[in-house]
Chains A and B, each alone.
Chain A
Amino acid sequence: MDDLCRLTISEIAGLLKKKEVKSTDILNSYVKRIKAEEPEISAYLYNDFEEAERNAEAADKIISSGSDYPALTGIPLSIKDIFLIKGKRTTCASKILDNFISPYDSTVVRKLKENNYVFLGKTNLDEFAMGSSTENSAYKITKNPYDLNRVPGGSSGGSAASVAADLCAGSFGTDTGGSVRQPAALCGVVGLKPTYGLISRYGIIAFSSSLDQAGILSKDVTDAAIMLEAVAGFDEKDQTTRKFNVKKYAEIVKKADKSILKGLNIGIPAEFFSDGLDPEINSKVSEIKILLKDLGANIIDISLPDTKYSVSTYYIIATSEASSNLERYDGIRYGYRYNENDGGAIQSLDDLYRKSREAGFGNEVKRRIILGTFALSAGYYDAYYKKASLVRKLIIKNYKDAFAKADIIIGPTSPTPAFLIGEKTADPLSMYLSDIYTISVNLAYLPGLSIPVGAVKNPTKTDGILPVGLQIISPWTTEDKLLSVAKIIEDEVKFREKIKK
């Protein structure tokens, strides 16, 4: 039954509908596979098979009752450990939340429960989603299923690895600067970061409030559409969600036809093909350009001139917001609190804060808190935070100008394929550059998607390959267009079929 794990959500849903399998069968197959593979991959922080079994049994009951049921009924999913689930441990891969059991459900999880999903477990991430390799987790290092010596990307590395290694049918992650798209590219799966405000952030542990957005990691584009439809929409608990109507993404993607490419203007931003780009990735993207041209699209050169400022702008805004968002972890009400047995007496209230946060946070988190605190402090605010906010407006304008010419933009998702564990940990700046093509999409509140379009040779593993992701960016709230174009490319490239062989 191992094959069941390889199925996409739409395939599982088809079997469930025809009553050829039960949700419990699917689950059993995953449990078996997770028990065998998870020790190597370390995608999960924990599994909850008891909960999963309850969910699957409930789903089977609903399915057998014969009435209509939602699209994710009986589908086993993994959830990045940044989403709160009532009664479940939620750590954000940080020691400071080591003992935190959430007393409430995030809106995404509430909607998944209403969808009768099956909860397989919480996936690993960089602590507080700060990182691009999942090496910053306080608990474990997740391996790339294509090469256990390499990172899965991050910060949703556990989610991407769990999808790539068939340890779940799909996963929910978050994307603040590329945290869904970059690991999707490095693990050869689909990664969707919707328009800022399309999915509620309520109950998602905040890293950078103006950039964070829930995202989807899936085996194919159709699944991404199904998952998006299940969780998108206005939430009265998140005032940054909008009242735009959620489209029938699954339906739209199903109907996506090559003919939509005829005359479609596809923009290629010159700035996405700069020095740091791996030449092999460059040539993979070029192949797609030719493919799209052959299908009737107009390939046009565009410019996003302020892309060069996006990494620095991002690291000022994201760290500033993070320095404030993480103030609540003070050891007073919940989470880790220093106690005198941990060594040394507590001198004062400030000392309690200092010692709790010092022991509770990891180095990268501390680095970013310090950076953000500095950028917001009196005397530096104008030069850093305020300036960055202005540059952000320029980047938004860049995209606006680009979309005046192009209907959609494509480019590489990541400048390199998956890198080796430990390769960039000593040099945070080189790590920050691995999100160079994804960051500006968050700064501009736009939807972006990474889709596997091929693979390059793995230089450190005989006969090994490393997947390459293509990034597609579309205008604000045009996920329908984004998913449709992605689906057509997917059908042409046939990445999954090729990898299976």
Chain B
Amino acid sequence: MHGNNDSFEAVIGLEVHSQLLTKTKMFCSCPNIFGMEPNTAVCPVCLALPGALPVINIEAVRLAVKAALALNININKKSLFARKNYFYPDLPKGYQISQYLDPVSSNGYLDIETEDSSKKNKINKRIRINRLHIEEDAGKLIHIGNRSYVDLNRAGTPLVEIVSEPDLSSAAEASAYLKSLREILVYLGVSDGNMEEGSFRCDANVSVRRKGDPELGTRAEIKNVNSFKFVEKAIEFEIERQIDLILNGGKVIQETRLYDSKENITRSMRGKEEAHDYRYFEEPDLPPLILSKEFINDVKNSITELPAEKRRRYVSEYKLTEYDAEVLTQDKEIADYFEDLIKENSNRIDIKKLANWVINELLSELKLKESEERMPLSAKNFLELITAVESGSINRNTGKIVLAEMLSSGKSALEIIKEKNLAQVSDDKGIEDIVKQVVNENQKEFADLIGGKDKLFGFFVGEIMKKTKGKANPKKANEILRKYIEENK
């Protein structure tokens, strides 16, 4: 633990809100997109005009159930929507439609990787999840000068709230949990996982207690944490703050605290957030949400392999290193692409080589170009290039050049190789001719080489490559040059 007193332990629970990647909002048919002109994605329902009524977006329910199933959370066949009442200008109805007593799913878990108490060994830890429920997002307030403006484009956006049990005991564990959760949701296509834009948000409940104390300490809720780095930092700060407070004879009070990333501290929101009585009650405008077995099974069948399973499979089936498996599975698009390559791999190129091509060549090239499009090359085109290099028809360096060209022009590897006449000169006769030519042009140096100046070997290889514009197969060039030297000694 980060604290300066090892007799304390931290108890942390996370509440994660994630927007769902649906076409339309939770209870109306307005588009669910980010970045439109303020108050243009609105209708009577999400503006809370008199008389407007909510209608459940079944696509959102589908995504929520998908997330719940992937997180091992029990689906409740009957769940209820409830109203959470409070006044705020970004909440047009004066209540948020959420789920309270009977959520769509409850009691699940997520396994994370953490360290044992010696901090030397990696172990798996099971973090229990209390519930995942469906709700709607509020709008946004925009403050300009001393005026506040309301943008209701976000009002009514579908959300899931995922509440963990207080099973996390360090900032690092909290971060690991959050990363794993985000990875799964993004993988499933449930969420875009964007913390900066606020479509994936996290509140942390943090308390500390003396080790061995069965009672939980008083917790503080930390809000306004909008990146993984800050989640870790905010929790670390808060743990230290609470330990210091207790060691100095103070008492932790139950409150909401905002994280200030500039100063790396948490600040009390006292006064702003009075004890709210949300007056929850069943939403009378909506019938209970009843999920059929068929619906649940249908969603279950749509769940693809999750990242952790994929990683295990890449190591066992493809014999990749843990590191390579990790890189290839960090993003579903990359993993899908890699698997496409394997599927299309009719020339039976070693899978490890394919992995290297993706990781060392394609991903680094894309990173270099800061490509908007994430996987711009078709698997078929990329395989054409890989085959050209691995079969020796062009050399590795030329391959890199061709790859860059493919990405910028969109042309196929074979087209580029042909157009620029890049095919490697591998035939003996061709290279012999060039060797002779180079020797003719550098007779003095050649005499020196034969005379024992071995360093000049490299010079001749370089000249040969220059003449062939890099197309000569370097192995072949070496071989033929050596033979020629022997013959002329």
Which residue of B53, B87, B281 contacts A330 across the interface (Cβ within 8 Å)? B87
Q: Is the CB of B284 within 8 A of A321?
A: yes
Chain A positions 256-276 with a Cβ under 8 Å from a chain B Cβ: none
Chain B positions 267-322 with a Cβ under 8 Å from a chain A Cβ: 277, 279-281, 284-287
A202 within 8 A of B: yes
Q: Is the CB of A104 within 8 A of B87?
A: no
Q: Is the CB of B286 within 8 A of A330?
A: no
Q: Which residue of B lies closest to A82 (CB)?
A: B51
Docked Cα-Cα span, A202 to B28, in Å, equals 13
Q: Kindly provide the distance from the CB of A1 to the nearest chain B CB, expressed in whole angstroms.
A: 36
Q: Is the CB of A330 within 8 A of B94?
A: yes
Contact-size category for B: 20 to 34
B92 within 8 A of A: yes
B150 within 8 A of A: yes
Q: Choose the segment among B41-49, B187-195, B350-358 that binds chain A (4+ C-beta atoms closer than 8 Å).
A: B41-49
Docked Cα-Cα span, A238 to B94, in Å, equals 20
Contact-size category for A: 35 or more
Q: Is the CB of A377 within 8 A of B277?
A: yes
Q: A239-B56, A327-B93, A328-B92 are in contact. Are A320 and B50 (CB under 8 A)?
A: no
A443 within 8 A of B: no
B95 within 8 A of A: yes
Q: Kindly provide the distance from the CB of A414 to the nearest chain B CB, expressed in whole angstroms.
A: 26
A451 within 8 A of B: no
A334 within 8 A of B: yes
Which residue of A100, A240, A332 contacts B50 across the interface (Cβ within 8 Å)? A100
Q: Which residue of B lies closest to A208 (CB)?
A: B284
Q: 1/0 per residue B131-154: CB within 8 Å of A?
A: 000000000000000000010000
Which residue of B49, B53, B277 contacts A103 across the interface (Cβ within 8 Å)? B49
A227 within 8 A of B: no
Chain B positions 41-95 with a Cβ under 8 Å from a chain A Cβ: 44, 47-56, 83, 85, 87, 89, 92-95
Chain A positions 178-212 with a Cβ under 8 Å from a chain B Cβ: 201-206, 208-210
Q: Is the CB of A333 within 8 A of B47?
A: yes
Note all chain B residues with C-beta closer than 8 A to A97.
50
Note all chain A residues with C-beta closer than 8 A to B55.
236-239
Q: Kindly provide the distance from the CB of A485 to the nearest chain B CB, expressed in whole angstroms.
A: 30
Note all chain A residues with C-beta closer than 8 A to B150.
332-333
Q: Is the CB of A327 within 8 A of B50?
A: no
Q: 1/0 per residue A300-329: CB within 8 Å of B?
A: 000000000000000000001101101110
Note all chain B residues with C-beta closer than 8 A to A210.
284
Q: Kindly provide the distance from the CB of B150 to the nearest chain A CB, expressed in whole angstroms.
A: 7
Docked Cα-Cα span, A206 to B52, in Å, equals 9
Note all chain B residues with C-beta closer than 8 A to A106.
51
Q: 1/0 per residue A8-32: CB within 8 Å of B?
A: 0000000000000000000000000
Q: Is the CB of B279 within 8 A of A324?
A: yes
Docked Cα-Cα span, A92 to B287, in Å, equals 26
A90 within 8 A of B: yes
Q: A236-B55, A238-B53 are in contact. Are A327 and B85 (CB under 8 A)?
A: yes
Which residue of B89, B277, B285 contacts A332 across the interface (Cβ within 8 Å)? B89
Note all chain B residues with C-beta closer than 8 A to A385.
281
Q: Is the CB of B94 within 8 A of A324?
A: yes
Note all chain A residues with C-beta closer than 8 A to B54.
239
Which residue of B47, B51, B280 contacts A203 across the interface (Cβ within 8 Å)? B51
Q: A104-B49, A238-B53, A240-B287 are in contact. Are A353 and B87 (CB under 8 A)?
A: yes
Docked Cα-Cα span, A376 to B277, in Å, equals 9
Q: Is the CB of B87 within 8 A of A84?
A: no
Docked Cα-Cα span, A77 to B412, in Å, equals 72
Note all chain A residues with C-beta closer than 8 A to B281.
320-321, 324, 376, 381, 385
Docked Cα-Cα span, A427 to B88, in Å, equals 35
Q: Is the CB of A202 within 8 A of B53?
A: yes
Note all chain B residues with C-beta closer than 8 A to A350.
87
Q: A239-B56, A239-B287 are in contact. Are A349 and B89 (CB under 8 A)?
A: yes
With most chain A CB atoms within 10 A of its CB, the pick from B51, B92, B150 is B51
Note all chain A residues with C-beta closer than 8 A to B94.
324, 326-328, 330
With most chain B CB atoms within 10 A of its CB, the pick from A240, A328, A378 is A328
With most chain A CB atoms within 10 A of its CB, the pick from B50, B92, B284 is B50
Chain A positions 346-361 with a Cβ under 8 Å from a chain B Cβ: 349-350, 353
A373 within 8 A of B: yes
Docked Cα-Cα span, A227 to B223, in Å, equals 54
Which residue of B56, B93, B284, B285 contacts A328 across the interface (Cβ within 8 Å)? B93
Note all chain A residues with C-beta closer than 8 A to B279.
323-324, 373, 376-378, 381
Docked Cα-Cα span, A378 to B280, in Å, equals 9
Note all chain B residues with C-beta closer than 8 A to A328.
48, 50, 92-94
Q: 1/0 per residue A100-114: CB within 8 Å of B?
A: 101110100000000
Q: Is the CB of A84 within 8 A of B284?
A: no
Q: Kindly provide the distance from the CB of A17 to the nearest chain B CB, expressed in whole angstroms.
A: 34
Q: Is the CB of B284 within 8 A of A202?
A: no
Q: Kindly provide the distance from the CB of A296 to the nearest chain B CB, expressed in whole angstroms.
A: 41
Q: Is the CB of B44 within 8 A of A103?
A: yes
Which residue of A100, A102, A209, A381 contacts B284 across the interface (Cβ within 8 Å)? A209
Which residue of B47, B51, B286 contacts A84 across the interface (Cβ within 8 Å)? B51
Note all chain A residues with C-beta closer than 8 A to B50.
84, 90, 92, 97, 100, 102, 205-206, 328
Note all chain B residues with C-beta closer than 8 A to A103.
44, 49
Q: Which residue of B lies closest to A211 (CB)?
A: B284
Note all chain B residues with C-beta closer than 8 A to A83.
51
Docked Cα-Cα span, A419 to B318, in Å, equals 88
Docked Cα-Cα span, A327 to B55, in Å, equals 19
Note all chain A residues with C-beta closer than 8 A to B48.
328, 333
The 7 A-B residue pairs with the shortest CB-CB distance, nearest first, are A327-B94, A209-B284, A210-B284, A376-B279, A203-B51, A328-B48, A205-B50
Beyond the given A203-B51, A238-B53, A330-B89, could you list 4 further A-B residue pairs with CB under 8 A, ordered by the A residue number?
Answer: A102-B51, A239-B56, A327-B95, A328-B94
13 contacts between A and B (CB under 8 A): A92-B50, A97-B50, A103-B44, A103-B49, A206-B51, A320-B281, A321-B281, A323-B85, A327-B87, A332-B89, A332-B92, A332-B150, A349-B89
Residues of A within 8 A of B (CB): 83-84, 90, 92, 97, 100, 102-104, 106, 201-206, 208-210, 236-240, 320-321, 323-324, 326-328, 330, 332-334, 349-350, 353, 373, 376-378, 381, 385
Residues of B within 8 A of A (CB): 44, 47-56, 83, 85, 87, 89, 92-95, 150, 277, 279-281, 284-287
